[in-house]
Structure 1
Amino acid sequence: MDAVELPHWLDALRRGQVTDRVRNDPRSRGDALFGIDRDRAFEAIGGGQADFDAPRGDLSPDDLVLLYAYLNQKGHLQELIAAFGQLLAGSKPPNPIVVDIGCGPFTGGLALAATLGDDPRFDYVGVDRADSMRRLGELLASSALVPGRVTTHWAPNIGSVQWHRPPGWRDVIVIVSYLFASPTLDAEGMFTDLNRLFRRLGHGAVTLLYTNSTREEPNRQYPAFRKRLVEAGFQVRAEDRGEIVVERSNRPQSRRLYYALFHRPRRRSLPLGG
């Protein structure tokens, strides 16, 4: 089985804004990235769970985010492109609103743009506590290489999302990818804020994609979050463990992941009150 291929524009974007910036840095020589070996680089980013606004030794927050994108982003893109390919196989929603919780550097937005065809159009709400992640995300999102028309909205948390349009009927796609691996996450508070955001966005159908490691620890807060989704009217469309081939160190590598797909249909009656 081959790894999921990224479209040419996405390969070019990552090469120009991530790979070349790391490899051409004067500190990077041979196998060293910003002056440290790959194992230490992975340790510096905490496997993806570091505080990316706090310097680590000689590495600045922007260095850390570039290392994250260099080491981790391509595999996550391949996972999400495969997932979106299945999710949107029947129909591709016109101009959806995409809410990416723990968005990193625009990863979910890039994956969706790669899935929607030659002229993708959507609003992208990227939520990440790290300013450095959002900075790199906006740099990638604003590139002329990204096809179609993507309007970005960035926020450090769900409660601070700025959305000034009146509630409408557009479909909403929510991405919750590897978020529950964070030990600082308040899953109950996150659901409450997310549900409030849904009401502000409108009354359209909401589809939520959850992906994570198959290990128990990173999913420890998932059962409570799942319960709240079901109580809020979401149906479980799929929930299983699967396997996908991603590219790591220029070699295909099989990665097991836990995934779930939830869906709440368009509301036909409007909820009254707050």
Structure 2
Amino acid sequence: MTNRQPWLDPMRRRLILDPIVNDERSVSGTRLGKQPGWIFQHAIGGGQADFDQWIENLSPRDRVMLYALFNQKAHIDELIHAFDKLLVDLEIFQDATVIDIGCGPYTAGLALANVVGSRAVYRYFGIDRALSMCAFAEELAAEVRALGELDERTEISFHQEIDVIDFGRRRGTQVTVFILSYLLASDTIDVDTLVAEIDRASKRVGLGPTVLLYTNSAREEARAAYPKFKKLMVDAGFTEHIEAKETFADSDKLREIHYALYVRRATLTIPIAEFRI
């Protein structure tokens, strides 16, 4: 059973479900005037849509809200399970830099807050190409903070591109944690570019170890890019510590999920230019 904290479901109900159900367009069992099948196919496009565009009478925010309603809950459960299974030592998150590529509406951030809460101080950088996703993610993160479920020193920010983020002065031994949840399910992702961005960002953040948590559907078509991703990660100095498929049953239906954990050891050589006298 997924260990959801008591604040999580009421928060999602208040900020996601209730506004949609109470919208004047939601009549005759529809959500914002649309049937579920149409929503999945057109409004959220399997999670790979351009959410910054209007579609019929649905605004970008409407589409993001529908995505959060239909997709987010199951993905939160999977990520809570993955955090509990693969990153059991919460000390890894103390002073860590967390980089969530393809963050959507703060999905992995909610799972992380559920698991870690205010017991660790970390920096979270969410990256999503859609401004509408980033905007709603900021609202959800602000609500989690208002509920007291984050240490007041934890920093959260959202960005459209990883290469332009200012991570500040390079850190020493602190861990960098990347999260890739369902990102490789998209056939628009260039795996070469993705791994290069991960490599560059990791080195810009600091000299400590880097951990990458990958989750995805286990469907063959969803993980078709994984073999190439794995090879490029290994070429970049990462070791695949765990890779498995399993049936995840703690949600509305049974789903086969695929997850992996990569680790790159700390950099042992410090450039002379980074010493301060």
Point out the more displaced range, 102-111 or 25-34: 25-34
Q: Distance in 2 between matches of 1:146 and 1:74?
A: 21
Q: Partners of 2:166 and 2:18 in 1: how far apart?
A: 34
Deviation at 1:126, TM superposition (A): 0.5
For 2:85, the equivalent position in structure 1 comes to: 86
Contact 1:100 1:176 (C-alpha < 8 Å) held by counterparts: yes
Counterpart position of 1:145:
147
Report the more deviating stretch, 148-157 or 13-22: 148-157
How far the C-alpha of 1:212 sits from its partner, in A, is 1.1
Mapped to 2, the partners of 1:232 and 1:242 lie a distance apart of: 27
SS of residue paired to 1:238 = strand
1: CA distance, partners of 2:142 / 2:113? 13
| Aligned-pair CA distance for 1:29 | 2.5
Residue 134 of structure 1: aligned partner: 134
Mapped partners of 1:182, 1:90: distance in 2: 31
Question: For residue 73 of structure 2, what is the aligned residue in structure 1?
Answer: 74
Aligned residues with identical type, % of pairs = 40
Q: Is the 8 A contact 1:119 1:147 kept in 2?
A: no
Tell me the TM-score normalized by structure 1: 0.91
Deviations 1:79-103 (A, max 9, x none): 0000001123244321211111100
Q: What's the offset of the Cα at 1:117?
A: 4.2
Which one is further off, 260-269 or 100-109? 260-269
Report which stretch shifted further, 174-183 or 152-161. Answer: 152-161
The equivalent position to 1:34 in structure 2, one of 18, 32, 35, is: 32
Contact kept? 1:154, 1:161, Cα under 8 Å: no
Match status 1:160 vs 2:159: no
Give me the CA root mean square deviation.
Answer: 1.8
Instruction: Mark the CA change 1:255 to 1:146 in structure 2 (over 3 Å): closer, same or farther.
Output: farther
- 8 Å CA contact 1:52–1:133 kept in 2: the answer is yes
Q: How does 1:169-188 map to 2 (within 5 A)?
A: 169-188=173-192
Deviation at 1:255, TM superposition (A): 1.0
Q: Distance in 2 between matches of 1:122 and 1:34?
A: 37
- 1:96-118 Cα offsets, whole Å, 9 max, x none, are 11111100011111111111144
Aligned amino acid, residue 202 of structure 2? F
Question: What is the Cα deviation at residue 272 of structure 1?
Answer: 8.2
Q: Deviations over 1:6-27 (max 9, x none)?
A: 2111112211111111111111
SS of alignment partner, residue 67 of structure 2:
helix
> Which SS does the other structure have where 1:247 is aligned?
coil
Residues 60-69 or 39-48, more deviating: 39-48
Distance change in 2, residues 1:69/1:24 (3 Å): same
Structure 1 residue ranges, 4+ long, deviating more than 4 angstroms after superposition: none
The answer (yes or no) to whether the contact 1:158–1:190 under 8 Å persists in 2 is no
Q: In the aligned structure 2, how far is the partner of 1:90 from the partner of 1:139?
A: 29
Matched, 1:211 2:210: no
Alpha-carbon distance, 1:135 to partner: 0.5
Aligned letter for 1:29? V
1:147-173: CA deviation from partner (whole Å, max 9, x where unpaired): 123311221122122322333321111
Q: TM-score, normalised by structure 2?
A: 0.90
Number of residue equivalences:
267
What aligned pairs does 1:1-274 form with structure 2 within 5 A after superposition?
A: 2=1, 4-43=2-41, 44-93=43-92, 94-143=94-143, 144-145=146-147, 147-149=149-151, 150-248=154-252, 253-270=253-270
Task: Classify the secondary structure of the residue corresponding to 1:36.
Answer: coil
Higher strand proportion, which one? 1
The letter of the residue matching 1:168 is G
Paired residue type of 2:150: G
